[in-house]
Amino acid sequence: MYSHIEKSIDKVAASLKNLSGEEIGKAINLIHSVYERDGRIYIFGNGGSLAIATHWVSDFNKTVFSHNLTKHSKRFQAIRLPTTEEELSAWANDVGFDMVFAGPLQNYLHDSDCVIAISSSGNSPNIIKAVELAKSRCVPVLGLSGFDGGKLHELADVSILVKTEPGDYPVVESVHNTVLHLLTDYFQHYFDHAIENDQKDI
């Protein structure tokens, strides 16, 4: 039992250490540029990745400015797609499961926005279809993938790849969650510091 626990922890730790700091930095710059132009961040994934996307939206929208709720009126706008399970099932049933992300996305997407696509394999057809839609409209894509990265790794403008053996979902999803928490933590500290400096200049 303890050897299994140690092995599991070591695998996640090794994957975290092997992440590209450069790509994470690019992801931060991408999200910040969307904020500056008052765009929106659309995020989506299947299964566990959808749960990760949903958690990140609730965390990111609330947490970044939580220390400064009355001091900063401009906020991030992060939106999980589809926005409801009803919409997901309607697209899947009436049009096809490959359109559950691209369908809603085409209703909302503007050139000021960005897309965050999460897929452990990087090859989910519904993820790739939404990514291709974003790229056809010159909207930047941040891809979070695993294994060998698949098509998502090739298509994404910024790609955070958790390189593992095929099928190692627990490690990939754990690291994806950590990366998204890192982004939330970074922007909370960034704006805390910025607001603190603004107050000193008054």
Residues 80-104 pLDDT 10s: 999 999 999 999 999 999 999 999 9
Q: Quick one: pLDDT at residue 199?
A: 60
pLDDT per residue as tens digits for the range 9-41: 999 999 999 999 999 999 999 999 999 999 999
In this structure, of 17-21, 73-77, 186-190, the range with the lowest mean pLDDT score is: 73-77
Rounded Cα gap, residues 61 and 66, in angstroms: 9
Rounded Cα gap, residues 185 and 147, in angstroms: 26
In the chain, domain spans:
18-196
Closest by CA position to 24, among listed 121, 189, 162: 162
Structure tokens at 7: 């092995």
DSSP E strands in 96-197: the ranges are 114-119, 141-147, 158-163
Q: What would the CATH number be for the domain defined by 18-196?
A: 3.40.50.10490
> DSSP character for 65?
T
From the CB of residue 5, how many other CB atoms can be counted at a distance below 10 Å?
Answer: 9
Rounded Cα gap, residues 162 and 175, in angstroms: 7
